[in-house]
C-alpha cells in the first residue's frame, strides 16, 4: 500500500512540473493560438509602404514592383493561398504622358488664339493610345451637366448633334445644384455627377473633346488636386481598341478661365449654371470660340498586378468574404510639388488601407471559418479604379459567390472615435450588421456627411457593386472621444485641403491609429459572423444594384 501511494505521488509531482513548464512557456511566448489585431503592425505596414524607397507606388515603376512583392510576401507569411496558383493577377496597362514642350490647348476667341497655361489654367490629356493627336477649329458648346439619365427623365443631349464638337461641362449633377431631394439624389452625388461618366458619355455621343469646369464645392477638392492627379503620366487599361472609342481630348479648366471664356462669348457663367438646373435646359453654342489642340504623347505599355490571396473555408470554400484596398498612388513627379518634394508617398491614400487588409489577413491566418476569405489589393485606382474594374470584368472566381465585401481607402489617423462613417449610407444590409456590432461597444453610425462629394463612386468597391456584390465602405468616424466632432472634422478638413494627392501625404510616427485598430476589430467581428453563417446580405429595396445581384445569383 505504501509503495502504491509513493508511485501515485511521483506521477502527480511529474504532472505538476509539466503544468508549471507549460505555464512558463505561455507567459514567455503568449498563446500562439489566439490572434489579435495589433496597432503596431498598422504603423509598420503604413510606414514601409509610404516610405521614399517605394517611390509613391506608381504601377509599372520600381516602387510598384516593391509594393506588389511586399504584399504578396506578407500574404504568404500568413499561410494564405493563391488564386489558381497565382498571388499576382495580371492587369494590362497602357501609359501616356503629354509632352508639354510640344503640346498645347488653345481657345480661339474671335480669331485670336489664347493658349491656356498647363497646370495653372488647364489640365488635358487623351485616353486614345496615339503618339499624335490634333484638333482643329472645334466649336464649343455649353452642355450644362452633360447628363443622359433615362431613369431621372433627364437628357442634356436631346435634340442636338455634338459630333466633332468640344463640350464644356459642369461638374457634379443637377441634384447638387438645386438640393432638391426629388431631383436625382438631391444633395448626394449620383454616378452621373462623376467626371468619369461625363467623359464616357461624351464619347458615346460622338463628341471630339470635353472640358470640365472646375468648381471646388461640387468637385469636392481644390484645383491643386486636379493639377496633380491628371498631369504627368496617365494610365489606362490596355483596351482592345487602344482607346479609339474615347474622345480625342479630356480636360479641366479653372473657374476663372471658364468665366472669361463665357464672357468672350457674350454669356454669363452664373446665369447659365442656373439655366442648367432645369429639364428644359438646351445646350448653347459658345459663339466666337473654337478649340485647337495638339497632343504629343510618350507611349508605353506595362503589366501591373492585383495582389490576391485566400484563406480557404472549411465547409463552403466557394463562398467568399472580400477585403479590399488599392495599393497604388501617384508615384514620383518632377516639378509639381510647391515644396520640390517629388515623391507622392500616399501614406493616408492608401498605405493605410493596405495595412488594414494585411493585418486582417494576419488576424484570420490562424483561424478557421466555414466560408473562404478573399484579400485583394488592387492596382491603378488613382487612374480611374482600373485594377478593380479589370477584376470585375475578368474575375478569377464567380462574383456571384462573393457574399459581401469591405473596402478600405484613405484611413485618417484621427484616433478613437464614438462613431463610424458609412460612405454611401442606406445601401445594403451590411449596415444592419455593422450597427449590431457597434451597439455592443457603444458606438454609432454617422451617415456619409458629404454625400454631395460622391465618395461612394470614387473608390474601388464601386467596381464590384456595379456587378451586384454588396459592399461596405466604412471608415473611422470624426466624433473623437477626446475632442468630439469639432476636432475630428478639423483633422479631416486639413487633410483634404492640404495633403490629399499632394507630396505632403507622408507617414508620421506620431499618428494615432488606435481608432483604425478598433474599426478593424469591428470589421473582423462582422466578417467572422458572416463567414460562419449561411447569410447572404442584400441591397436595400430600391438600390440601383439590387436587381443586378438578384440576376447574378440566379445563374
Q: Extract the C-alpha cell encoding 55.
A: 517611390
Q: Extract the C-alpha cell encoding 219.
A: 468637385
Contact predicate 187/451, CB 8 Å: yes
Contact predicate 129/243, CB 8 Å: yes
- pLDDT score of 336: 55
- Give the mean model confidence (pLDDT) for residues 240-250: 95
At 437-452, the pLDDT tens digits run 999 999 999 998 888 8
Q: Which of 9-23, 182-196, 296-310 has the highest mean pLDDT?
A: 296-310
Q: Find, among 372, 392, 531, 539, the residue nearest to 460 by Cα.
A: 392
- pLDDT score of 110: 87
- pLDDT score of 339: 65
pTM for this predicted structure = 0.82
Cα pseudo-dihedral 335, 339, 344, 350, rounded to 10:
-150
Q: How far apart are CA 234 and CA 385, in angstroms?
A: 13
Q: Extract the C-alpha cell encoding 336.
A: 509639381
Helix (H, G, I), strand (E, B) or coil at 189: coil
Q: Which of 180-184, 220-224, 434-438, 455-459 has the highest mean pLDDT?
A: 434-438
Q: Extract the C-alpha cell encoding 238.
A: 490596355
Q: Extract the C-alpha cell encoding 39.
A: 496597432
Contact predicate 219/173, CB 8 Å: no
Contact predicate 264/110, CB 8 Å: yes
Q: How far apart are CA 386 and CA 293, in angstroms?
A: 27
Q: Is the model's pLDDT at 8 over the cut of 90?
A: no
Q: Is the model's pLDDT at 255 over the cut of 80?
A: yes
Q: Extract the C-alpha cell encoding 313.
A: 473555408
- pLDDT score of 56: 97
Q: How far apart are CA 164 and CA 207, in angstroms?
A: 5
At 283-325, the pLDDT tens digits run 999 999 999 999 999 999 999 999 999 999 999 999 999 999 9
Q: Is 3.20.20.140 the CATH number for 98-298?
A: no
Domain ranges of the chain: 39-81+312-554, 98-298
Q: How far apart are CA 195 and CA 393, in angstroms?
A: 21
Q: Is 3.30.1360.20 the CATH number for 39-81+312-554?
A: no
Q: Extract the C-alpha cell encoding 194.
A: 462623376
> What is the rounded average pLDDT for all residues in the chain?
91
Contact predicate 455/424, CB 8 Å: yes
Q: How far apart are CA 399 and CA 413, in angstroms?
A: 33
Query: Regarding predicted confidence, which is higher, 238 or 334?
Result: 238
Q: Is the model's pLDDT at 453 over the cut of 50?
A: yes
Asked if the bond preceding 397 is cis, omega within 30° of 0, the reply is no
Percent of the chain at pLDDT exceeding 70: 93
Contact predicate 414/515, CB 8 Å: yes
- pLDDT score of 335: 60
Q: Is the model's pLDDT at 411 over the cut of 80?
A: yes
- pLDDT score of 5: 39
Helix (H, G, I), strand (E, B) or coil at 132: strand
Q: Strand pairing of 104-109 and 112-115?
A: antiparallel
Q: How far apart are CA 219 and CA 230, in angstroms?
A: 14
Contact predicate 174/183, CB 8 Å: yes
Q: Is the model's pLDDT at 20 over the cut of 70?
A: no
At 117-162, the pLDDT tens digits run 999 999 999 999 999 999 999 999 999 999 999 988 999 999 999 9
Percent of the chain at pLDDT exceeding 90: 81
Q: How far apart are CA 195 and CA 215, in angstroms?
A: 12
Q: Extract the C-alpha cell encoding 483.
A: 475632442
| Confidence bin at 3 (pLDDT 50/70/90) | very low
Q: Extract the C-alpha cell encoding 442.
A: 457603444
Return the exposure string of 94-130: e unless at least 16 CB atoms fall within 10 Å of the residue's CB, then b: bbbbbeeeebbbbbbbeeeeeebebbebbbbbbbbbe
3-state SS, 393-435, equals HCCCCCHHHEEEEEECCCCCCECCECEEEEECCCCECHHHHHH
- Give the mean model confidence (pLDDT) for residues 54-68: 96
3-state SS, 285-331, equals EEEEEEEEEEEEEEEEEEEEEEEEEEECCCCEEEEEEEEEEECCCCE
Q: How far is CA 497 from the centre of its chain?
A: 18
| Confidence bin at 179 (pLDDT 50/70/90) | confident
At 374-396, the pLDDT tens digits run 999 999 999 889 999 999 999 99
Q: Is the model's pLDDT at 10 over the cut of 80?
A: no
At 325-372, the pLDDT tens digits run 999 999 998 765 556 789 999 999 999 999 999 999 999 999 999 999
Contact predicate 329/56, CB 8 Å: yes
Amino acid at each position: 500500500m505504501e509503495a502504491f501511494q509513493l508511485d501515485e505521488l511521483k506521477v502527480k509531482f511529474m504532472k505538476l512540473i509539466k503544468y508549471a513548464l507549460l505555464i512558463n512557456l505561455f507567459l514567455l511566448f503568449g498563446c500562439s493560438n489566439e490572434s489579435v489585431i495589433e496597432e503596431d503592425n498598422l504603423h509598420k505596414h503604413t510606414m514601409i509602404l509610404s516610405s521614399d524607397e517605394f517611390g509613391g507606388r506608381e504601377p509599372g515603376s520600381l516602387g510598384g514592383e516593391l509594393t506588389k512583392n511586399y504584399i504578396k510576401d506578407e500574404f504568404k507569411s500568413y499561410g494564405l493561398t493563391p488564386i489558381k496558383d497565382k498571388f499576382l493577377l495580371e492587369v494590362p496597362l497602357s501609359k501616356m504622358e503629354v509632352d508639354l514642350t510640344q503640346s498645347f490647348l488653345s481657345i480661339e476667341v474671335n480669331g485670336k488664339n489664347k493658349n491656356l497655361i498647363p497646370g495653372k489654367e488647364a489640365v488635358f490629356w487623351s485616353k486614345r493610345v496615339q503618339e499624335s493627336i490634333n484638333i482643329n477649329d472645334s466649336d464649343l458648346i455649353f452642355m450644362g451637366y452633360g447628363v443622359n439619365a433615362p431613369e431621372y427623365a433627364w437628357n442634356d443631349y436631346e435634340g442636338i448633334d455634338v459630333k466633332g464638337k468640344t463640350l464644356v461641362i459642369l461638374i457634379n449633377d443637377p441634384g447638387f445644384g438645386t438640393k432638391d431631394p426629388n431631383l436625382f439624389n438631391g444633395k448626394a452625388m449620383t454616378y452621373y455627377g462623376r467626371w468619369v461618366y461625363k467623359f464616357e458619355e461624351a464619347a458615346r455621343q460622338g463628341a471630339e473633346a470635353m472640358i470640365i469646369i472646375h468648381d471646388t464645392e461640387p468637385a469636392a477638392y481644390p484645383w491643386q488636386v486636379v493639377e496633380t492627379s491628371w498631369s504627368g503620366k496617365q494610365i489606362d487599361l490596355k483596351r482592345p481598341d487602344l482607346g479609339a472609342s474615347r474622345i480625342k481630348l479630356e480636360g479641366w479648366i479653372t473657374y476663372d478661365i471658364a468665366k472669361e471664356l463665357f464672357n468672350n462669348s457674350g454669356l454669363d457663367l452664373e446665369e447659365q449654371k442656373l439655366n442648367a438646373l432645369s429639364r428644359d435646359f438646351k445646350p448653347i453654342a459658345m459663339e466666337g470660340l473654337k478649340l485647337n489642340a495638339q497632343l504629343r504623347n510618350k507611349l508605353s505599355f506595362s503589366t501591373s498586378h492585383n495582389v490576391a490571396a485566400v484563406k480557404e473555408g472549411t465547409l463552403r470554400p466557394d463562398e467568399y468574404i472580400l477585403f479590399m484596398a488599392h495599393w497604388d498612388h501617384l508615384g514620383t513627379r518632377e516639378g509639381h510639388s510647391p515644396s520640390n518634394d517629388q515623391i507622392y508617398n500616399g501614406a493616408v491614400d492608401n498605405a493605410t488601407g493596405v495595412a488594414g487588409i494585411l493585418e486582417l489577413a494576419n488576424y484570420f491566418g490562424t483561424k478557421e471559418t466555414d466560408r473562404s476569405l478573399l484579400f485583394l489589393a488592387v492596382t491603378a485606382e488613382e487612374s480611374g479604379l482600373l485594377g478593380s474594374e479589370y477584376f470585375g470584368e475578368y474575375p478569377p472566381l464567380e462574383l456571384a459567390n462573393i457574399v459581401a465585401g469591405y473596402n478600405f481607402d484613405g484611413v485618417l489617423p484621427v484616433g478613437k472615435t464614438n462613431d463610424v462613417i458609412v460612405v454611401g449610407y442606406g445601401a445594403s444590409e451590411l449596415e444592419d450588421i455593422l450597427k449590431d456590432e457597434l451597439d455592443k461597444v457603444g458606438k454609432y453610425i454617422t451617415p456619409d456627411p458629404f454625400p454631395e462629394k460622391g465618395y461612394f463612386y470614387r473608390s474601388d468597391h464601386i467596381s464590384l457593386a456595379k456587378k451586384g456584390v454588396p459592399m461596405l465602405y466604412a471608415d473611422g468616424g470624426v466624433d473623437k472621444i477626446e475632442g468630439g466632432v469639432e476636432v475630428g472634422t478639423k483633422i479631416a478638413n486639413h487633410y483634404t485641403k492640404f495633403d490629399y494627392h499632394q507630396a505632403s501625404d507622408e507617414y508620421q510616427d506620431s499618428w494615432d491609429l488606435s481608432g483604425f485598430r478598433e474599426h478593424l476589430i469591428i470589421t473582423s467581428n462582422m466578417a467572422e459572423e458572416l463567414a460562419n453563417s449561411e447569410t447572404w446580405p442584400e441591397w436595400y429595396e430600391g438600390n440601383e444594384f439590387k436587381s443586378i445581384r438578384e440576376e447574378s445569383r440566379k445563374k
